[in-house]
Structure 1
Amino acid sequence: MEKYFKFLFAVAILLMIGLPGCAGPTLNVAPVAISDNPTSKIFELEDTLAEGRKQQIHVLSPTWYAKAADYLEKARYGLANDDSVAGILQNIAYGHAHFDKAKEYALIAQSAISQAIKARDLANAAGAASLGEDYQKVEDEFKTLTADIENNNLSRAEKNESQVAQDFADLELRAIKENTLGEVRNLLATNIHNGAKKLAPKTLQETEKALIDADLFITQQRYEREEMQNKANAALFQAQRLGQIMAASNALKTMSPEDISLRQESQLHQLASELGSRDLRNEPTDLQLQSILESVVSLQEDNQYLKEKRHQEMLEFEAKLTEKQSEIDSQRQQIAALEGQSKEDQRARELIALQEKETKARLESERHFQQLFNEVQGLFAQDQAEVYKQAKNLVIRLKAMQFPVGKDLIMPNNYALLSQVRNAIRTFGNPDVVIEGHTDNTGSAAINALLSQNRAEAVRQYFIANGTLEAEKITALGYGPERPLAANDTPEGRAINRRIDVIIKTEMSNH
């Protein structure tokens, strides 16, 4: 019965968007005023496609989304080569029209093949893309479903959805057992071989228990997918932790008790110094640790205070804007009340005054943006980041941001760079920010797409955890190898393409 209602809903949508059987769907192209600024319109279409990617429209309606992206590239090319404004705006209009059609088909897909979509998301979260050809085979089956929907063959998509969903579920289970638990077993075996039973027996016992619990749960509760993944990740964490305990235990074997104490003291003193705390090495270790913890709490409270202060300043700014608007409205009423003026004269005066005001506001906004742009540029050394303008946005390309091969772990040596990015973001108050992850084309496109998304999300979570912005103000997008800056046929080119871009949506973007 549920399938029947889903089918009726999807058919209703098809009828509303006007799919006339074998004929192609009607494309509604909204007219674009020739007076519109082509740069701003390109920026607007870029934002629209980025938002569509967040909603997975590029996956659910790949053909129409790709056409929209092609028109965006045509518009960019036209702008770079001084094509006519009319031609650039026409490409932008067609880009929006194709994207609108992609949204319509994505809506149908979300209803007609919802189970396959969910199963695919879970399989990707489990790292199923690493299964190579087996994953690609099921991914191709999924693409066939979306192609059937785009070709108005809804019944065939509905018919094949269950099998595709099951295939993704099988891949998910296999990926968890082969990737996550397989890595746990390998780490466990290596550490046991290296003497874990003597060096870290308690941690070893915790790791073995976590592995047994995860394996048993996955076998017995294969449909509790989220908890299944959580238990697998917990087992992997324990195995990695065991390795670190082993390394520390091995290092301590050759040290005297005094050397061990001095090492601990040095680590605590380094933390205290970074936090600006006084030197407490003449005090008990517990007191030193407590001082560090209190300093951290104090910093967190300071961050919260700054966040609340920014919010209050924003409210005060908005109140001032409202007050200024009231003054403007009052002045307009006074002008209207002046005797001896015709309505035409009054409108002309108002128009001139408004144009002058808008021009002054725009120039002031541009001047302010240039000032902030120069300030942000000064935060980074040439080998750290490249800062440039992209339409009305500011882009920080993190040249020095490096991840371990195949991982999304932010290494400690990147914290200072990310702290500078935090300062850059705060320069613009409380802006919206997009974190873009990019890779080279080495390996599977599916793996690269997932890796770039996870790396962008790791940076996003870092900024959220450090109180840079609220979660809803930061978006993470992974583009994989789709947007290379250099050719991928040299090590240098591939290194350039592996990058994180931080895009700050400046105040000007809303004007």
Structure 2
Amino acid sequence: MKRICILIILLFAFIACSSSNKNPVDLKNVNVEPGSDLNLVLEKVKTEEAEIFAPATYKMALEKHQEYMKDNKNDLTAVVGLYKETLKKVEGVKQSIPNVLEARIDAIKVGANKETVKFKDAEEDLLDITGDVESKGKLNKSKSDKLALQYRSIELTLIKEKYLKESQKALDECHKLGGMELAPVTMKEAKKYYDEVFTLIERDRYNDKAIGPKSKEALFMAQRALSIILDIKKMNSESKEATVLRYEKLFENISKTLEIADIRNKSFFEQHEEINEYINSLFKAGRNINVEKTQMNDQLTSLKEVVGELSKKEKIRNIITDIQKELTLSEAEIYQQEERLIIRLTGLKFVSGQADLNENHQLFLSKVGEVIKKLGKSVVIIEGHTDALGNETVNQELSTKRANAVRDFFISKTYLMDELSSSAGFGDTRPIASNKTALGRSQNRRVDLVITILEL
């Protein structure tokens, strides 16, 4: 009798354990302080689905947690430790069933959930497998492989539903209306498109680039079949004359829209040909108009560009006139070079061999600087030049120093922006007069401001 009692107790214990695996407990009734160590580990427990992948250990941790909630004298460290142990178990179980995990994730990605009957069954099988691995440390490979196939099958079914649900719905409606008898050729064609997508999904379910367009074609053909069948049924419900008059009315409406003369005295074929020819002539005329329009737009664009260039040049000429009112010819010569402005600083006379700016130089450059300021946002290149007397290298260095000196002065007085200005020395390589005469050499010793006004 005692043995029987023990066996009954063990049996009930086994049933209870099995039941706990099938219906895992959750954390809904557990209160946790946000930000605590326990809260962090619980978040991980939820994310890793511990109730599925380590149900027994998870249950122990949850019970310990509930005990702690009833009596705060219990050690919270033990609760956290049990949850961490649960996570270790989860990791071990997951490592033993990678194929199942991957298949399950893929099924969930395409919409599998607990509302799906087959998915619910698969989840119960998963609990059986994870429970065995957790408690016994053994994996039934045959069961896990079978479960992976279950998840793959669910995934495949959902992918087919995604791409073929509407097509299937239209084809089912065709069958209900007797489509195979009324329009066998059309039905066969629609079914062919459907089967092509079905086969493509079976062969390469993740090839969305191929499946997507094909599934749209299949849907179109299924809807076309349904439309034809509905038309046939309508024809069958009316007299032949009524059918002809109905289609005649369609052609008549098209003719009126296109403003074609009444052609009802011709056969449908002739009416169709005439309407088609007229539409083609409209398209041809439209294409010619588009060509002419494009050509005119191109010409207009070119004209606008020319006008824009002329406008800029005219503005520069006006600017030159304004500058000439402020700077005398002995101070500066002003030139226009396409859309650029050249100010030659004839009033800036350096001592031979030197690049220093004296007080007179600075007064003169301040006057020029005020002129530059009025031009608005501009890119300014300051070029230094020398005559041909002396060493070429020395002349190059001297011209660079003079250009730099002028630029530095303009920047220091905020007449120029550092990022929109630069300086360069050209030595005696760009003479504007003969170096054989004193006058010519004097003209060659110069500083030019090359200005591009950005906001004309």
TM-score normalised by structure 1 residue count: 0.33
**Larger of the two Rg values belongs to structure:** 2
